Chain A
Amino acid sequence: MAIEKEKLLWMFRNMVTIRLFEERVAEYFAAGKIYGFVHLYVGEEATATGVCANLRKDDYITSTHRGHGHLISKGGDLKLMMAELFGRKTGYCKGKGGSMHIADVELGILGANGIVGGGFPIATGAGLTAKYNGTDQVAVCFFGDGASNQGTFHEALNLASIWKLPVVFVNENNMYGISMSQKKSMNVPDVAARAAAYNVPGVVVDGNDVLAVYEAAGEAIKRARSGEGPTLLECKTYRYRGHFEGDPTVYRPKEEVEEWKKKDPIPRFENELAKMGILAPDQAQAIKAEISKLIDEAVKFAEESPWPSLEEITEDVYAV
């Protein structure tokens, strides 16, 4: 498979952007400047990156409570994201939504979601719009292993399957739903096995290998675009931080975390790019430094932004 150099470098930059963004969010959360529930994507960067590298601006995604990585990968603006996390008027949702509700409808980002399993039917509906309008847009639904036990998973996959909708259901299997291990929450080792119930392809891929994700998602998206219906794609990955910031993670063994840290998707891809002769170590460093600056700017923008004014509280309840 020949992937253009620009695309490979975009993937690297994107993964680094997510990682550095999340690390900065963790810092500001700990400092009390970012509010509410914050669920970070550290460790899972290859999944959103590999999937979204196949998407166009006019494609749709539905995201989750752990949504920053999806947003960044679909082109989300770091300043507007950071300002939203800081609760400012200039944020993506004018300070009304916060981490769990960031959306950019212009970019096809139909929102992070505070309700686990809330996105399945919404992505299905976006797929319906594409099919109804006769476009070749697709909708990608990101969801966790835990989410796949909700009733909406079954209802949406069935509907997308019988209506042959252009929806790709991307499972980010990080092995836990808060404290509950996937081994205890379902009796199949692979979420993808459930695809059989809907007669759609079920594919398992190493979610920490960005190129493997890129390729598998590419096929599923191509299938959706050409009218062949949905796919269930499972990406095996791991979250390095707690479920939310402040979670002491008593429920998983330290060795397990250490094992997975060895499979960190970012150094792994960096090495591959180096071997391909695409990215020398000093170039990788330069990219990281450059992105770190972008994040500094996002933080500065957020910190200097005004709070929403109190009159705004009743605005945007209804459309006019």
Chain B
Amino acid sequence: MRKLTMLKAINEALRQEMRRDPKVYVAGEDVGIFGGCFGVTAGLIEEFGPDRVRDTPITESAIVGSSVGAAATGLRPVAELMFIDFIGVAMDQIFNQAAKMRYMFGGKAKVPLVLRMPCGAGGSAAAQHSQCLEAWLMHVPGLKVVAPSMPYDAKGLLISSIRDNNPVIFIEHKFLYGVEGEVPEESYTIPLGKADVKKEGKDVTIIATMAMVHRALEAAADMEKDGISAEVVDPRTLQPLDNETIVNSIKKTHRAVIVHEAVKFAGPGAEIAAMIAEEAFDYLDAPIKRVTAPFTPVPFSPPLEKEFIPSKEKIASAVKALLQE
């Protein structure tokens, strides 16, 4: 099958949905001729013009808020925040407006809006351009949170997100943009709320998100040589979370290691671990372990940043420690 980078897969999903539905438009800072800070929207303005590829001023609150208003009145905006770190500027429009409108109005409104935003450390972009903030968003009833790890997933999940009638936060780890994978040319959907087993195994379940899926797969491949068979589960959607796929894997392996780049305390893994403790306690042969970033802002200096991001070595040693239990 044809291979695409995750960046190109997302671009193709946008393009196909814009062709299919004239109500879909893109908005954000530098999304037009500049093609977005990372190039995700490159070429869209040439095909769809400035009415449907709307360059905005630097105005996150209004980027999100105008999308909420447009979505509530019949359009299907796909807005880009240049970095997830900038949601702070727009937070009221996300969690008090977009997320709650339907419920507060007694089910009389819908807000079919997608907010795309890159996250993640790795380029020395420092504390305000490198965060993983998915836990903030998972916590808010009314939002859906999608966090793909592979080009194939990114395309199918983005198309589903655009067709979903709810506000969807679509998080793109910026160090996955260049990752290649097989992606069908035709349009397809992947349901939100379905996890995917990226590698089967029998000794331990590693539940990993976004870039950490790749680190987990590398760790699993290394451990294979030591006779350890790890299963790697990618939730793909964090809200709603696919409890069933995770629990089924633990029924098989009896051990769980959760890996994410967000900080540990009240991070996404806290929810996953609590869910496992509630729903699969009897199947566990060992405590649940988490491999995460330390509880600090993201440091700038390359050696510190490298230390900040969970590595395949740290994942493997957590798994091995667990197998000793």
Contact = CB atoms under 8 A, between A and B. Distances in A.
Given A115-B86, A151-B61, A310-B303, A98 B124 contact: yes
Given A95-B299, A149-B58, A308 B304 contact: yes
B58 A147 contact: yes
Nearest to A311: B307
B30 interface: yes
B297 interface: yes
B72 interface: no
A97 B34 contact: no
A93 interface: yes
A317 B34 contact: no
Interface residues of A, number: 40
Interface in A297-320: 307-308, 310, 312-314, 317
Nearest to A317: B296
Nearest to A151: B61
Interface in A64-116: 87-89, 93, 95-98, 100-101, 113-116
B17 to A, nearest CB: 24
Given A37-B125, A101-B127, A146 B58 contact: yes
Contacts of B126: 36-37, 96-98, 100-101, 114
Chain B interface residue count: which class? 35 or more
Interface of B: 29-30, 32-34, 37, 55, 57-62, 85-86, 88-89, 123-129, 294-297, 299-304, 307-308
A101 B304 CA distance: 16
A215 to B, nearest CB: 30
Nearest to A84: B300
B57 A149 contact: yes
Interface in A268-320: 307-308, 310, 312-314, 317
A88 B294 CA distance: 20
Given A114-B85, A313-B308, A87 B302 contact: yes
Given A87-B302, A96-B300, A179-B34, A185 B129 contact: no
A132 interface: no
A100 B129 contact: yes
Contacts of B303: 87, 307-308, 310
Interface in A111-165: 113-117, 146-147, 149-152
Centre residue among B127, B304, B308 by max chain A CB count within 10 A: B304
A115 B61 CA distance: 13
Given A312-B304, A313-B296, A36 B124 contact: yes
Given A100-B126, A250-B33, 17 more contacts: A35-B302, A36-B300, A37-B126, A87-B124, A87-B300, A87-B304, A95-B304, A96-B297, A115-B89, A150-B89, A151-B61, A152-B89, A178-B34, A179-B30, A180-B30, A251-B33, A313-B304
A96 B58 contact: no
A252 B325 CA distance: 62
A100 B128 contact: yes
Contacts of A317: 295-297
A131 to B, nearest CB: 27
A50 to B, nearest CB: 25
A251 B59 CA distance: 20
19 contacts: A96-B300, A98-B124, A98-B126, A115-B85, A115-B88, A117-B58, A147-B58, A149-B59, A151-B62, A151-B89, A152-B89, A178-B29, A178-B37, A185-B57, A307-B303, A308-B299, A308-B301, A310-B303, A312-B304
A35 B124 CA distance: 6
A80 B126 CA distance: 18
B30 A178 contact: yes
B25 to A, nearest CB: 17
Contact of B300 (A93, A146, A151): A93
B45 to A, nearest CB: 11
A118 B39 CA distance: 25
A186 interface: yes
A5 B25 CA distance: 58
Contacts of A87: 124, 300-304
B59 A150 contact: yes
A1 to B, nearest CB: 36
Contacts of B55: 179-180, 184
B307 A313 contact: yes
Contacts of A218: none
Given A115-B89, A307-B301, A307-B303, A314 B34 contact: no
Q: Identify the 9 closest CB pairs spanning chains A and B, nearest first.
A: A95-B301, A114-B128, A98-B300, A87-B301, A35-B124, A36-B124, A179-B34, A149-B57, A185-B57
Interface core residue of A101, A116, A313, A317 (most chain B CB under 10 Å): A313
A88 B30 contact: no
Contacts of A201: none
Contacts of A97: 126-127, 300
B119 to A, nearest CB: 15
B89 A114 contact: no
A98 B301 CA distance: 7
